[in-house]
């Protein structure tokens, strides 16, 4: 297999950029691994505290069985995480059968962006990723675990857990999915109902009925947003078992895959002959593979923020140019809502990730020579799991797509590129996802309407103020200003304007997430307005040109550079719903282009 020139070039560029930081990281985790299993160095009293509640505590103290730490994001408010309630008992039982032990090391918070959309709580969402990393650090700080199993699915949870896995890179890490809920009301029908509600055609009762029919069971939401993009990423990066991402919860195959994950966790500790520290999995090739998967599937734009933070925890430095260049060379192979009508269950049935990985490997668009928890290279991930006699066996995956309206080969993709563009100009640097945007809308030039939050936009819409082509500017939505909430609740409003024949676009220093779709959205503008970024100088009526073809974003006002920027009122997001607890985060957070992180 000959590697695609762009994949090689971008990988080499990341490797060179990360030379010093990666070398320092590898030395750090090597020092941490010195001396063998960590708990052997604890005093008798320390160990007694750690094992006191375990039924086999004497066995743990006297043998060299691997001890697996479980870091869980279980709560039963999130449908995606509710299935994890059963996992600790299942893992402990499987560990015992594998000659190991397991303990719940700690829990991490897991908030639902679907609940907090458009609410004050959403301003904590991005920062919850860093809190999850911190909480995981506390869980693993007891130094008694030979491997860690991370139970998490959704938006900020997996990135936070990866930051922790990278930080504790001397400990083997196995990520364990929970799977998507069965298909409910089709996503396009749900979207139609939301737009009808936005225009007043239907009432709240009809809207509620549609939403309840969409989100109806344990498991991940079935559209291809950040949660399911996370699951794809873990498979492309070799941290899930092959083919495990999209198996529905509470099924025999799902449980058998969890048992198999425990067996791998027990096998790759320093006590055996197949030691695989997480830091060796999380190298520049793994992150390039993850970005290729992001582009090939049309995944969530949130990962453009998360991946640099995740990589930094392992000494790997990513830049927007890496995402842009890989997108230009990776074809869009999947159409999953909001980039199509199918949901992730349909995608999985059509051949899913195994088919995609096989075809991308054949085309030289993925690194096969990576370390994975499956015990070999990425070629193992072209297989799919089957249940035989209660045990998982991996078989060759689909060789051909089973539905070319959902999944296509590299040689006949839905689009020749991944649809992600870097934008640069006098409004700063940002990105736009165009995989679901009609080609005739890739260039929008129109007068600006400037707003300080999304509620102002919706109020102007209700007053009938959008009567011509408009670029909606929503600023002071970056991490320093208010934690960078998703602005997904603007999607129905902007979609209605577009359906009325207007040429509209969104420009913001905030986020739109993997649920963004057909309306052009220039997002993650950096430096953000609250950091003195140029978005703070835009005024109503300025002509803005968003050109996703050329990759430019410009305010065409002649006096633009000479203007005094508008100022942000920090009190607007300082209190309520716990926001006062995150003042230090807002004061110290990095730029969106670098991962919008506090802890890395």
Q: Quickly count: other Cβ atoms within 10 Å of residue 255's Cβ.
A: 20
- The mean per-residue pLDDT over the stretch 240-264 comes to 97
What was the pLDDT predicted at 515?
46
Residues 391 and 447 in one domain: no
d(CA 127, CA 478): 12
Residues 483 and 349 in one domain: no
Residues 275 and 309 in one domain: yes
Helices (H), 72-171: 87-97, 113-116, 125-140, 157-167
Give 60's pLDDT tier (boundaries 50, 70, 90): low
Residue 508 counted as domain residue:
yes
Tokens of 425: 């100009």
Residues 388 and 445 in one domain: no
Mean pLDDT (the chain) is 93
- The mean per-residue pLDDT over the stretch 481-504 comes to 92
Main-chain dihedrals φ then ψ at residue 202, nearest 5 degrees: -130, 165
Rounded alpha-carbon distances, angstroms, from residue 230 to 177, 271, 373, 397: 10, 30, 17, 21
d(CA 331, CA 154): 25
- Is 447:471 a contact under the CB 8 Å cutoff? yes
Identify the three-state secondary structure at position 251.
Answer: coil
| Total length of the chain | 600
Residues 490 and 550 in one domain: yes
Give 26's pLDDT tier (boundaries 50, 70, 90): very high
d(CA 476, CA 217): 36
- The mean per-residue pLDDT over the stretch 563-571 comes to 91
Provide the number of structural domains found in the chain.
2
Tokens of 356: 């995609």
Residue 190 counted as domain residue:
no
Residue 69 β-bridge partners: 103, 148
Tokens of 453: 């939050």
Rounded alpha-carbon distances, angstroms, from residue 65 to 98, 162, 173, 268, 293: 10, 25, 17, 12, 36
44 among annotated binding-site residues? no
d(CA 168, CA 266): 17
Indicate if the pLDDT at residue 466 is higher than 80.
Answer: yes
555 among annotated binding-site residues? no
Residues 529 and 563 in one domain: yes
Indicate if the pLDDT at residue 514 is higher than 70.
Answer: no
**DSSP 3-state helix, strand, coil percentages of the chain (rounded to 5)?**
45, 15, 40
- Read off the CATH number of the domain in which 469 is found: 3.50.30.80
Residues 392 and 425 in one domain: no
- Please identify, among 337, 362, 396, the residue that sits at the C-terminal boundary of a domain: 396
What was the pLDDT predicted at 368?
98
- Is 257:244 a contact under the CB 8 Å cutoff? yes
Structural domain for 138, as ranges: 5-34+65-182+217-396
Rg, the chain, Cα only: 24
Read off the pLDDT of residues 87-102 as tens digits, 9 standing for 90 and up. Answer: 999 999 999 999 999 9
- Please identify, among 396, 411, 437, the residue that sits at the C-terminal boundary of a domain: 396
Rounded alpha-carbon distances, angstroms, from residue 542 to 163, 455, 474: 41, 21, 14
Please, what sign has the CA dihedral across residues 231, 232, 235, 238?
negative
Residues 561 and 456 in one domain: yes
Per-residue three-class SS string for 195-231: HHHHCCCCCHHHHHHHHHHHCCCCCECCCCCHHHHHH
What was the pLDDT predicted at 439?
92
Residue 432 β-bridge partners: 421, 522
Tokens of 561: 């550079």
What was the pLDDT predicted at 37?
67
d(CA 538, CA 139): 46
Rounded alpha-carbon distances, angstroms, from residue 533 to 52, 193, 521: 55, 37, 18
Share of the chain above pLDDT 90, in %: 80
Residue 56 counted as domain residue:
no
d(CA 479, CA 530): 9
Compare 268 and 193 and report the one with higher pLDDT: 268
Residue 300 counted as domain residue:
yes
Please report, in angstroms and rounded to a whole number, the separation of the first and last CA atoms in the chain. Answer: 36
Residue 401 counted as domain residue:
no
Q: Indicate the angle between helix axes 204-214 and 187-198, nearest 10 degrees.
A: 160
- Please identify, among 364, 396, 428, the residue that sits at the C-terminal boundary of a domain: 396
Task: Find tokens 């059963």 and name the residue.
Answer: 86
Residue 589 counted as domain residue:
yes
What was the pLDDT predicted at 3?
95
Residues 327 and 467 in one domain: no
Rounded alpha-carbon distances, angstroms, from residue 274 to 133, 265, 281, 571: 27, 10, 13, 53
Residues 367 and 430 in one domain: no
- The mean per-residue pLDDT over the stretch 257-285 comes to 97
Tokens of 90: 């299942």
- The mean per-residue pLDDT over the stretch 528-552 comes to 97
Main-chain dihedrals φ then ψ at residue 189, nearest 5 degrees: -70, -40
Share of the chain above pLDDT 70, in %: 97
Main-chain dihedrals φ then ψ at residue 391, nearest 5 degrees: -120, 145
What was the pLDDT predicted at 48?
75
Compare 548 and 39 and report the one with higher pLDDT: 548
What was the pLDDT predicted at 36?
65
Rounded alpha-carbon distances, angstroms, from residue 60 to 35, 67, 263, 340: 19, 8, 18, 51
Residue 409 counted as domain residue:
no
User: How many H-runs (helices) and E-runs (strands) does the chain carry?
Assistant: 22, 14
Which pTM does this prediction carry?
0.94
Strands 101-107 and 147-151: unpaired
Give 436's pLDDT tier (boundaries 50, 70, 90): confident
List, in order, residues 6 or more apart from 209 with CB less than 8 Å away.
none
Residue 60 counted as domain residue:
no
What was the pLDDT predicted at 572?
81
Q: What is the DSSP string of 507-521?
A: EESSB--TT--SS-E
Residues 285 and 175 in one domain: yes
d(CA 334, CA 488): 22
Q: Quickly count: other Cβ atoms within 10 Å of residue 438's Cβ.
A: 10
Residues 239 and 310 in one domain: yes
DSSP letter assigned to residue 391: E
């Amino acid at each position: 297999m000959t590697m695609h020139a762009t994949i090689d070039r971008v990988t080499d560029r990341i490797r060179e950029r990360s030379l010093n930081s990666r070398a320092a990281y590898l030395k750090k985790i090597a020092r941490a691994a010195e001396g063998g299993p960590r708990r052997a160095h604890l005093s008798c009293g320390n160990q007694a505290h750690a094992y006191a509640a375990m039924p086999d505590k004497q066995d743990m103290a006297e043998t060299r069985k691997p001890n697996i730490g479980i870091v869980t994001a279980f709560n039963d408010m999130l449908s995606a995480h509710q299935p994890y309630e059963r996992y600790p008992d299942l893992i402990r039982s499987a560990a015992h059968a594998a000659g190991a032990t397991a303990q719940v090391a700690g829990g991490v918070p897991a908030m639902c962006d679907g609940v907090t959309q458009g609410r004050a709580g959403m301003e904590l969402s991005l920062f919850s990723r860093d809190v999850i990393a911190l909480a995981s650090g506390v869980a693993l700080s007891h130094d008694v675990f030979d491997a860690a199993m991370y139970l998490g699915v959704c938006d900020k949870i997996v990135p936070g857990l990866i930051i922790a896995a990278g930080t504790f890179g001397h400990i083997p890490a196995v990520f364990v999915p929970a799977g998507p809920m069965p298909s409910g009301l089709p996503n396009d029908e749900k979207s139609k109902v939301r737009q009808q509600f936005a225009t007043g055609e239907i009432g709240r009762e009809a809207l509620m009925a549609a939403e309840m029919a969409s989100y109806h069971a344990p498991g991940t939401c079935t559209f291809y947003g950040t949660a399911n993009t996370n699951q794809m990423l873990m498979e492309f990066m070799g941290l899930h078992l092959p083919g495990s991402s999209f198996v529905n919860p509470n099924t025999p195959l799902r449980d058998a895959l969890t048992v198999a994950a425990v067996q791998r966790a027990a096998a790759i500790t320093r006590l055996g002959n197949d030691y695989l520290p997480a830091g060796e999995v999380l190298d520049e090739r793994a992150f390039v593979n993850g970005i290729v998967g992001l582009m090939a599937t049309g995944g969530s734009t949130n990962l453009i923020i998360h991946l640099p933070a995740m990589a930094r925890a392992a000494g790997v430095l990513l830049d927007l140019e890496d995402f842009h260049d890989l997108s230009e060379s990776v074809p869009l192979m999947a159409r999953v809502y909001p980039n199509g009508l199918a949901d992730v269950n349909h995608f999985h049935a059509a051949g899913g990730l195994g088919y995609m990985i096989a075809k991308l490997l054949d085309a030289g668009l993925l690194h096969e020579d990576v370390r994975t928890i499956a015990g070999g290279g990425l070629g193992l991930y072209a297989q799919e799991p089957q249940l035989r006699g209660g045990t998982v066996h991996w078989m060759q995956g689909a060789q051909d797509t089973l539905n070319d309206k959902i999944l296509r080969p590299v040689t006949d993709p839905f689009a020749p590129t991944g649809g992600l563009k870097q934008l640069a100009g006098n409004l700063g640097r940002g990105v736009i996802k165009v995989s679901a945007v009609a080609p005739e809308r890739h260039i929008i030039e129109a007068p600006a309407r400037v707003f300080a939050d999304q509620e102002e936009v919706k109020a102007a819409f209700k007053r009938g103020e959008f009567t011509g082509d408009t670029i909606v500017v929503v600023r002071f939505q970056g991490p320093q200003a208010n934690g960078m909430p998703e602005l997904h609740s603007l999607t129905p409003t902007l979609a209605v304007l577009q359906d009325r024949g207007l040429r509209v676009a969104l420009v913001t220093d905030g986020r739109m997430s993997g649920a963004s779709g057909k309306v052009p959205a220039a997002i993650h503008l950096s430096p953000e307005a609250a950091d003195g970024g140029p978005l703070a100088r835009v005024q109503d009526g300025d002509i803005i040109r968003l050109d996703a073809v050329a990759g430019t974003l410009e305010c065409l006002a002649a006096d633009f550079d000479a203007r005094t920027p508008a100022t942000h009122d920090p009190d607007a997001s300082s209190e309520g719903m716990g926001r006062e607890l995150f003042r230090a985060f807002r004061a110290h957070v990095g730029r969106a282009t670098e991962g919008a992180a506090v802890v890395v």
